[in-house]
Amino acid sequence: MKKKIKNINFGSGISSVEGTWRFNKNVANVFDKHVKQSIPHYNDIQDYIVSLSEWFIKDNSVIHDLGCSTGETIKKINNLNVNNNYEIIGYDTSKKMIDLAKKKVNSPKLKNKKIKFVCKNVLDIKKFKKSSLFISILLFPFLKLNEKKKIIKKIYDSLETGGALICVEKIRASNANYEDIFNQIYFDFKLKKKLNERQILNKAKSLRSSMNLFSQKKTIQLIKDSKFQSCEIFFKCFNFLGYIAIK
């Protein structure tokens, strides 16, 4: 007998087949709302990254945003009051995310800098254009350890000396006690953001086979092992970590 496929609800109008989390059309359409219900201080994180990026946008700079989703970071960088000529390239595997990003960034209010979007798996990109800045907000948790190591090396090789990687990751706490406390606080955060218990549990279940999380120590060690000159944490909120690494 054929197994009955059950559709489950994640909130923000998203539903999917149990056991899967995909950044598909269904998710892309409500992503901007859903991400704010799922990531603590999402707007602040975006603002901090845009502020940090000012130190790395120079004349003729190329900026890469890996896992750009609907282009929120690119839109905000484009709104910065910097006069340099620069190019920003956003990458995402989801065509719908890229379509929405193009729409967001082409809004007439935005200044006309050189912005491109590439619908591709970043792991399939052989070589990135030489760059002064890579940004990656919450892409790395969806990569396996060997994939993450490979992409960090590729980023390092494509950065100019003095260029930076600005990254936000979801991590694991340093021990089981903190992990338990932080996860419960995370669920409380989602409840406050008007997701219900069923939706929170459904999302956690759907992510079981999609996320690969490491401790802060291991996360920073991977960056140090990749020969970055320095690495500094600019954001930490329970299991969310933002860091900047300079080549």
Ligand X SMILES: C[S@@+](CC[C@H](N)C(=O)[O-])C[C@H]1O[C@@H](n2cnc3c(N)ncnc32)[C@H](O)[C@@H]1O
Calculate the alpha carbon distances from 72 to 11, 77, 102, 225 in Å: 21, 9, 10, 30
Burial class (CB in 10 A: 0-12, 13-18, 19+), 82: middle
Smallest distance, ligand X to C-beta of residue 142, A? 5
Smallest distance, ligand X to C-beta of residue 155, A? 13
- Verify binding: residue 137, ligand X, rule CB under 6 A: yes
Q: Which of 121, 209, 210, 229 binds ligand X (CB under 6 A)?
A: 121
Q: Which of 8, 50, 63, 97 binds ligand X (CB under 6 A)?
A: 97
Smallest distance, ligand X to C-beta of residue 67, A? 3
Supply φ then ψ for residue 243, to 5 degrees.
-140, 160
CA angle 102-97-67, nearest 5°?
Answer: 100
Sole window of 8-16, 50-58, 74-82, 135-143 interacting with ligand X (rule: CB under 6 A): 135-143
Of residues 23 and 55, the one with the C-beta less far from ligand X: 23
- Verify binding: residue 242, ligand X, rule CB under 6 A: no
Helix (H) or strand (E) holding 70: none
Evaluate the CA torsion angle 57, 59, 64, 70 in order and state its sign: positive
Size of the site for ligand X (CB under 6 A): 19
Give strand ranges (E) for 94-215. 114-119, 131-137, 159-170
Binding-site string for ligand X from residue 29 to residue 68, where x marks contact by CB under 6 A and - marks none? ------x-------------------------------xx
Sole window of 91-99, 186-194, 200-208, 221-229 interacting with ligand X (rule: CB under 6 A): 91-99
Query: Reading across the β-sheet that carries 61-66, which strands appear in turn?
Result: 114-119, 86-92, 61-66, 131-137, 159-170, 240-246, 230-237
Smallest distance, ligand X to C-beta of residue 171, A? 14
Find out whether 96 and 29 touch, Cβ atoms under 8 Å.
Answer: yes
- Verify binding: residue 94, ligand X, rule CB under 6 A: yes
- 32 by DSSP, 3-state: which? helix
Smallest distance, ligand X to C-beta of residue 172, A? 17
The binding site for ligand X (CB under 6 A) comprises 23, 35, 67-69, 72-73, 91-94, 97, 121-123, 137-139, 142
